[in-house]
Amino acid sequence: MKIYNKHKNILLEIICMLFILLFVYAAVSKFLIFDEFKIQIGQSPVLTAYTTWVAWGVPFIEILISLMLVVPRFRLPALYAAFTLMVMFTTYIFIILNFSDFIPCACGGVLEKLSWTEHLIFNIIFVILAFIGVMILSPQKNDDTSKYAYDT
């Protein structure tokens, strides 16, 4: 059983590192081209009314989640937050692809090179990774001590 937990812990570390890399990269990319990012958010048919809040809030939240993922004590809420944020991003892309005539591009860096369909698939993969991370860290139902997977 210890080997199984060791593999789960390694998988959890990989998932956390991938999210830290993704969110820090995405936030820094947004801040580096902040004015352009804000304009592109303003062109979104879904987010126009919330441009300033979204332009500042998204990179701030990405950095906050990344910092939380570094500290094992905060990983479970951070993975819930990452899951929620990725579901929101994925839903936004789905709505834009299927219900909008205009598709603004507010991505930066490497992600800007992806097509919208590729971006949707990329996001779905990260939604699944966050879900796996939450499942690894969630207290075990049959465990009387309610230890987390990373404690063993």
Does the pLDDT value for residue 83 go beyond 60? yes
- Tell me how many domains the chain contains: 1
CA 149, 75, 17 angle in degrees (round to 5)? 95
- Write out 90-135 in H/E/C secondary structure: HHHHHHHHHHCCCCCCCCCHHHHHCCHHHHHHHHHHHHHHHHHHHH
Task: Grade residue 144 by pLDDT with cuts at 50, 70 and 90.
Answer: very low
pLDDT at 146: 46
pLDDT digits (tens, 9 = 90+) for 3-53: 578 899 999 999 999 999 999 999 999 999 899 888 888 887 777 888 889
Classify residue 147 by its DSSP letter.
-
**Does an H or E element contain 25, and which?**
helix 2-32
pLDDT digits (tens, 9 = 90+) for 55-79: 999 999 999 999 999 999 999 999 9
Closest Cα partner for 122 from 140, 109, 139, 135? Answer: 109
Closest Cα partner for 121 from 146, 94, 99, 98? Answer: 94
Task: Grade residue 110 by pLDDT with cuts at 50, 70 and 90.
Answer: low
Domain that holds residue 133: 2-140+147-151
Task: Grade residue 142 by pLDDT with cuts at 50, 70 and 90.
Answer: low
